[in-house]
Structures are given as C-alpha cells and as structure tokens.
C-alpha cells in the first residue's frame, strides 16, 4: 500500500491503473488522503479499520478486492490458486458484519468467476468496475425518485453519512438531498452521529464541497429540532434491509424514527436493492456490529478493575412500521409494512 495526498473531489474510491485508491475517511475533514491498494487482504483491513465505510462503498471496495485477488493468484499459475483466492475471500467476509452489500459483492464476484472459462483476470476487473458504475447509476435514479416524493418539503434531517463517501458516488440519502436541493432551496440538517461523528466529519464536509449549506446538530438536539417544526422529513441510508422492511442503519436511526412518529415527521430510507437481504425475514436476525468501549469511554476507565464500562453497538434496527417510504433504484415502497418488499425482488 502506498499513499498520495492530491485532492480529487468527493470520491471514496477511485480505480486507476488497476489500483484501488481509498480515501482515508478517518482523516476527514482535516486531510484528504488516499491510500493505494493492490492486495485484497489490505482492502479488507481498510474496511475493518473504517478507512472506507458506508454499506455500498464497502461492497464496491470488496468487489475490487476480489478482482485483485483473482489477478494476483491466477497469475501465479499454481494449481492451488483457487485455495489462496478462497482464503482471501474469507478475510474480506470477516472485515465487518452488518452491511449486506459486502456479502452481496463477494457472492456476485464469485458467481461471475464461476461463469468464466479461461483467463478470468480482465473480466473480473471489468466486472468490479461495472458494480461501481451501477451503484452510481442507482444513486442518481434514487435521487430523482426520492426528490419527487419530497415535493416541496423544506426541512430535511439526515443521520450518519449516506453520501458520495459511503457509496460509489452521489450517495443514497445525500443523493436524494442533492437532487431535492437542485430543484429548490431546502434547509438541510445533519446529526453529528456519535461516536464516530460521520455527520460532523463527513456529511457536512461533503455537502459543503458541493456548495450545499447544512446545519449540524448534536444527536441529542433531534427531538427539540422536530418539535420546533423545522423539519418535514428524516432521510437516511441503510446497511441492511430485511424482507419485512425492517432497516438496520447507523446507531441513532431508531431513536430518530421513534421521535419522528411522535412529532409527525416522515422517515425516508434510501438504499439500492443490493442492500436488501431477502434471506433475513426480519430485522432482529441482522447481526449488529459491536465495537470497542474505548471508542468513547474516557481513558481513566480503561483499567480492567474499573467499575465503568461502555456498550457500543454501532447500528440499530428501525422497525418497518416506523418507516414512511423506502426508495430504491427499482422503485419506491410507501408504507413498507403494508405494501411489503417483494416487488423489489429480482427473480
């Protein structure tokens, strides 16, 4: 892995000269720095260590990682290349548990490989790039569909980062916000999103890079904001959507959904169909990533004899009954608890 510090607008992932350039999101907004990867296991580490985040971006990074693994291992012309490849797939699959796009991309790339006769390298590299481009196209389509649903709503609140940084480009929730703001001025609010501060460090930075004004709020100000009547819609992305429409997304989304119901604010979830996991009947089956207490526990409590610990689930599940609309590139599902998700299935 090498690095470069030239600014390249808002792109989480760039594929250049058969290398994956990954914007190190841990350094934003202070520094724009790209790490350059050629090894699948190093990309797995970039996912695990949160250099690249957001469900679609993780999936796309994994797709490129699979292609790079094929390139390296197939070239060695060794009968056991497939075993080495399978071992790298396992490392990628273990990088983070909640976003289904990772597992979708690994399966998609493995299925593609199984269909190829002869040298698979070029076709696999091309297929990873296709997955990347398809994600951007899906985001643009969702942007238009979501903006139509918003009509002339003025006040929008988003949570975490579901923008260009979390996807192949343009964004899911932020894609809708981009498209909506292009049609008319809106007041955009972003929750800071503790503990990793994706809202404060990524979302408002990304919006400002696109000349979209935004107001940051502490997560704990959300109820007050809703009560003040300044927002009509909450717009979020998703890490995994179950077959019944329950949505796993960044911790705090469920709290916002409950508050929204109380205050008569509507909740829009925006995600490509690659985020829907029809194998999960309901949200309670989704594995929720738990991260280290040290992410927000003051150091003075780190001692093993300390009576103070921290509980740090980094996603939660919002039940479908609290969701007004799910926007995908294949269409919009209003009131998912009544409508169901089956129309979005690709059989």
DSSP state string for 137-150: HHHHHHHHHHHHHH
Catalytic residue of the set 35, 135, 239, 277: 239
Q: Which is nearer to ligand MRU, 113 or 200 (CB)?
A: 200
Query: What is the bridge-based pairing of β-strands 215-217 and 266-270?
Result: unpaired
- Using the 8-state DSSP alphabet, how is residue 184 labeled? S
Q: Is 272 in the site for ligand MRU (CB under 6 A)?
A: no
**Is position 172 an interface residue for ligand MRU (rule: CB under 6 A)?**
yes
Q: Interface with ligand MRU includes 160 (CB under 6 A)?
A: yes
Identify the residue among 10, 13, 162, 320 touching ligand MRU (CB under 6 A): 162
Q: Given the DSSP bridges, would you call strands 276-277 and 240-242 parallel, antiparallel or unpaired?
A: parallel
Q: How far apart are CA 323 and CA 300, in angstroms?
A: 40
In whole angstroms, the minimum distance from the beta carbon of 194 to ligand MRU comes to 12
Q: Which residues in 312-331 contact ligand MRU (CB under 6 A)?
A: 314
The residues in 68-107 that bind ligand MRU, with binding defined as CB under 6 A, are 99
Q: How far is the CB of 83 from ligand MRU (least distance, A)?
A: 30
* Strand 187-191, strand 331-334: pairing: unpaired
- The CB-of-176 to ligand MRU minimum distance in angstroms stands at 11
**CA-closest candidate to residue 139, choices 121, 160, 163:** 163
Q: Is 239 in the site for ligand MRU (CB under 6 A)?
A: yes
239 is catalytic: yes
**C-beta of 73 vs 198, nearer to ligand MRU:** 198
* DSSP per-residue codes, 121-135: HHHHHHHHHHHHHHH
- Alpha-carbon gap, residue 230 to 202, rounded angstroms: 23
Work out which of 198, 203, 274, 318 binds ligand MRU, going by CB under 6 A: 198
**Cβ nearer to ligand MRU, comparing 149 with 164:** 164
Residue number, 160 or 243, with CB nearest to ligand MRU: 160
Which residues contact residue 198 at a Cβ distance below 8 angstroms, ignoring those fewer than 6 apart? Answer: 53, 160, 161, 250
The answer to whether 1 and 44 have CB atoms below 8 angstroms apart is no
Q: Which residues bind ligand MRU (CB under 6 A)?
A: 53-56, 99, 160, 162, 166-167, 172, 198, 237-239, 249-250, 314
């Amino acid at each position: 892995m090498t690095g470069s510090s030239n600014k390249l607008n808002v792109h989480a992932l760039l594929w250049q000269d058969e290398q994956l350039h990954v914007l190190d999101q841990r350094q934003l907004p202070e520094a724009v720095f790209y790490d350059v990867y050629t090894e699948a296991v190093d990309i797995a580490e970039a996912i695990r260590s949160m250099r690249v985040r957001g469900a679609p971006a993780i999936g796309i990074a994994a797709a490129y990682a699979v292609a790079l693994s094929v390139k390296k291992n197939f070239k060695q012309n060794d009968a056991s290349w497939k075993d080495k490849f399978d071992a790298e797939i396992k490392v990628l699959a273990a990088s983070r548990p909640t976003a289904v796009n990772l597992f979708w991309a690994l399966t998609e790339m493995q299925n593609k490989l199984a269909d190829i006769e002869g040298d698979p390298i070029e076709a696999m590299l091309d297929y990873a790039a296709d997955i990347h481009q398809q994600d951007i196209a899906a985001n643009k389509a969702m942007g238009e569909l979501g903006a139509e649903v918003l009509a002339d709503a003025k006040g929008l609140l988003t949570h975490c980062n579901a923008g260009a940084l979390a996807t192949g480009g343009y964004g899911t929730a932020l894609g809708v916000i981009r498209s909506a703001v292009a049609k008319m001025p809106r007041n955009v609010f972003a929750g800071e999103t503790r503990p990793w501060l994706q809202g404060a460090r990524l979302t408002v930075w990304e919006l400002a890079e696109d000349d979209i004004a935004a107001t940051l709020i502490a997560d704990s100000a959300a109820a007050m904001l809703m009560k003040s009547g300044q927002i009509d819609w909450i717009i979020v992305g998703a890490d995994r959507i179950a077959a019944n429409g329950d949505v796993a997304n960044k911790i705090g989304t469920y709290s916002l959904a409950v508050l929204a119901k109380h205050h008569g604010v509507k909740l829009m979830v925006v995600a490509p169909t690659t985020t829907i996991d029809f194998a999960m009947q309901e949200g309670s089956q989704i594995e929720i990533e738990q991260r280290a207490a040290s992410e927000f526990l003051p150091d003075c409590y780190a001692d093993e004899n300390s009576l103070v610990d921290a509980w740090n689930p980094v996603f939660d599940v919002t039940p479908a009954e609290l969701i007004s609309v799910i926007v995908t590139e294949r269409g919009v599902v209003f009131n998912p608890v009544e409508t169901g998700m089956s129309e979005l299935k690709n059989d």
